[in-house]
Amino acid sequence: METLLIATPAGSALIDITRQVQEAIARSGIQEGICALFLPHTTAGLTLNENWDPDVRHDILLTLGDLVRADPRHRHDEGNSPAHIKASLVGHSVTLLVSQGRARLGRWQGIYLAEFDGPRQREVWVKVVGE
């Protein structure tokens, strides 16, 4: 297993970690198999989405912000309940197919760490398993 360390900016952001994940897969030496990604944090998530047009990232964050707003009825003392809820909606893991030593992604797909409570130092755990 390998741990990627990702420094995130303040607030919310979708950080493209595709390159770092592809490099971790290459370091594993595994040519065919699967790559499991897991994010051990409660106010961030992992997702796949378009990596060509940055407006897609903007639109995802905008819509999540519209769907999940701060609410005076929230009870969590730290005041970051919306970040926890967004992270639950996005999820904390991604499974990728590995072929020819690389993650097999769709033409426009990228791998994103979704930060909802930055700035933070986040970990992404990467486990590559061969056939």
pLDDT digits (tens, 9 = 90+) for 25-58: 999 999 999 999 999 999 999 999 999 999 999 9
Indicate the pTM of the whole model: 0.94
The tokens 């060509």 sit on which residue?
52
Tell me whether the omega of the peptide bond preceding residue 72 falls within 30 degrees of 0, making it cis. no
Q: Could you tell me if 16 and 81 are in contact, meaning their C-beta atoms sit under 8 angstroms apart? A: no
Max Cα–Cα distance, the chain, nearest Å? 51
For residue 29, the model assigns a pLDDT of 97
The answer to whether the Cα torsion of 5, 93, 16, 29 is positive or negative is: positive
β-pair type (2-7, 102-103): unpaired
Predicted confidence (pLDDT) per residue in 105-120, tens digit: 999 999 999 999 999 9
For residue 103, the model assigns a pLDDT of 98
For residue 78, the model assigns a pLDDT of 78
For residue 80, the model assigns a pLDDT of 82
Predicted confidence (pLDDT) per residue in 4-26, tens digit: 999 999 899 999 999 999 999 99
- Between residues 39 and 82, which one has the greater pLDDT? 39
Could you give the C-alpha distances from 7 to 102, 103, 114, 125, in angstroms and in order? Answer: 24, 23, 12, 14
Q: Could you tell me if 80 and 53 are in contact, meaning their C-beta atoms sit under 8 angstroms apart? A: no
For residue 76, the model assigns a pLDDT of 81
User: Among the residues of the chain, which ranges form H helices?
Assistant: 18-28, 54-67, 81-90
Residue 72 has pLDDT above 80, yes or no: no
For residue 77, the model assigns a pLDDT of 75
How many domains is the chain partitioned into structurally? 1
CATH number of the domain encompassing residue 35: 2.60.120.460
Structural domain containing residue 111: 2-130
